[in-house]
Structure 1
Amino acid sequence: MDKIAHDVGDIQSRLLDHRPVLQGEIRYFVREFEEKRGFRECRLLENMNKLVYETKEQVLPRCTKSMQANLPDALNQLEDVNHMTQRIQKRELEHQHSILLQEGTEKRKADWEDFLKEQSRLKEEVDEEHAKAVGRLSTQYSEMKKDHAKFSQF
Structure 2
Amino acid sequence: MSGGGPASPGRSGAARLPGDRKRESLAAGTPLHPIIKDVGEIHSRLLDHRPVIQGEIRYFIKEFEEKRGLRELRVLENLKNTIFETNEHVLPKCEQAMHDNLSKALERLQAANDAIHRLQEKEHEERKLLTNKLIADEEKRISHWETFVKEQQNKQAEVDEEHRKAMQRLKEQYADMEKELAKYVSF
TM-score bin (small chain): 0.5 to 0.7
Structure 2 portions without partners, runs of 5+: 1-31
- Alignment partners' CA distance in 1, 2:143 and 2:41: 118
1:52-93 deviations in Å (ceiling 9; x for gaps): 112222333444455556654443333223212322344455
Show CA shifts across 1:114-133 (max 9, x none): 88988888788767655554
Match of 2:115 among 66, 69, 84: 84
> Does residue 50 of structure 1 match 2:85?
no
Larger displacement relative to structure 2 (64-73 or 14-23): 64-73
Q: What do the CA deviations read for 1:41-60 (whole angstroms, capped 9, x no partner)?
A: 22111101011112222333
Tell me: CA distance 1:44–1:133, structure 2 relative to 1, closer, same or farther (3 Å): farther
Which is greater in Rg?
Answer: 2
When the two chains are superposed, the root-mean-square deviation of aligned CA atoms in Å is 4.6
Aligned to 2:41: 10
Structure 1 residues 78 and 138: CA distance shift in structure 2, 3 A: same
Q: Name stretches of at least 5 consecutive residues in structure 1 with no aligned partner.
A: none
CA 1:80–1:148 in 2, change beyond 3 Å: closer, same or farther? Answer: same
What is aligned with 2:70? 39
Match runs of 1:92-131 below 5 Å? 92-94=123-125
Q: Which SS does the other structure have where 1:17 is aligned?
A: coil
Aligned to 2:6: none
Whole-Å separation in 1 of the counterparts to 2:36 and 2:145: 124
Q: How many residue pairs are counted as aligned between the two chains? A: 150
Q: Distance in 2 between matches of 1:3 and 1:124?
A: 148
For residues 111 and 20 of structure 1, do their structure 2 counterparts lie closer, same or farther at Cα, with a shift above 3 Å needed? farther
Q: Distance in 2 between matches of 1:109 and 1:4?
A: 129
Equivalents in 1 of 2:153, 2:47: separation in Å? 119
Deviations 1:92-148 (A, max 9, x none): 555566677777788888888988988888788767655554443333344556689
In structure 1, how many angstroms separate the alpha carbons of the residues matched to 2:133 and 2:115? 27
Task: Specify the code of the residue in structure 2 equivalent to 1:18.
Answer: H
Identity of aligned residues (%): 36
